[in-house]
Amino acid sequence: MNEVFSFETEEIGPALDLVPLAARRALDHAGLRLPLEGWRSLAFEDRRRITRAGAEAVVDVATVHAIVQRAHPPALPMPLAADPSPDHLPEGLREALPKGRAIDARTWASLSGLARFSLVHCVRRAAKRGDPAILAAALDVLVPRAAAQDADATSLSSHLGPRGDVRMVDVAEKPPTQRRGVAVARVRMRPETASRLARGDTPKGEVLATARIAGIMAAKRTPELIPMCHAIALTHVAIALDVDEAAARVTITASAEATDRTGVEMEAMVAASVAALTLYDMLKGIDREMVVEDVMLVEKSGGRSGHFRRSP
């Protein structure tokens, strides 16, 4: 599932011209039926917020109602719709499952509300179009095959064993590939702090250089900080810091590269985070109200899941 909470199999696209399943769930919970023309009349950020709301465990229906009021043509009221119960598989789902893809009760109960909603919706869509591949593709995204086949599984996470014990994922059988991850973090500060940083007038000396070194060091220590991360033979780590005096913030971009069996997304995010925290430490003597924000993965490449790039 990507940053705007649409599944690859939906073929929605970054502009959200169509209604993702997460957004459909948000509208159902709010008791609203929004025609496609009304959906497209909303600003991209509004469509994104509705989609985000539908991806949460509890849908913020008040926010959904407030946003949908701006749609034209307007949404129509409909009966409130809840997620399929986690207590039992819905009628029709078990029969529709492809051969060899049974879902036991414990696996079903462990699925998120969005996952249960999406699977049931895909059953209806597959039946309507006469295309069972729609459900099979959704299962590949939402229900890992090993979990679906193991009646003793307690979770869909590959970090959990059959008895719920936390474990590191075995990547021995995966081939090494060239991998790259890019993450950003931002530090918001007072305008005078940004000005002093830009001209090098700070009490602790080389602020930017120290933050850059801290980010590189942190990337190499990621498996010591994030419990289930593998130790990766990093081939390159780079930290760029952009001081924007007008916006009174520093944007940190961290990239990490490796040829390995698992990705470097966490290395990039840890590097950006620690560089941001180091900036705070170096500048807190003149500005304790700084805010570290917007830590996010912006791009990754390599591995089975392929290329990801965050939408603008």
Query: Where in the sequence numbering do the catalytic residues fall?
Result: 281
11 annotated ligand binder: no
Q: Where are the beta strands (DSSP E) in the chain?
A: 32-33, 76-77, 177-188, 234-244, 249-260, 291-301, 308-309
Q: Compute φ and ψ for 269, nearest 5 degrees.
A: -70, -40
Per the annotation, does 228 bind a ligand? yes
Q: Are 289 and 268 in contact (CB under 8 A)?
A: no
DSSP string, 112-145: -HHHHHHHHHHHHHHHHHT-THHHHHHHHHHS-H
Cβ proximity of 23 and 51 under 8 Å: yes
10 Å CB burial of residue 200 (0-12, 13-18, 19+) is exposed
Cα atoms in the 13 Å half-sphere on the side-chain side of 231: 2
Flag whether 229 is marked binding. yes
Is position 122 annotated in a ligand binding site? no
37 carries a ligand binding annotation: no
Residues 51, 75: Cα–Cα separation, whole Å: 16
Helix axes 21-30, 113-129, angle to 10 degrees: 110
Residue with tokens 């060091």: 217
- Distance CA(178)–CA(186), nearest Å, equals 27
Binding residues: 228-230, 266-267
Binding-site residues for substrate: 228-230, 266-267
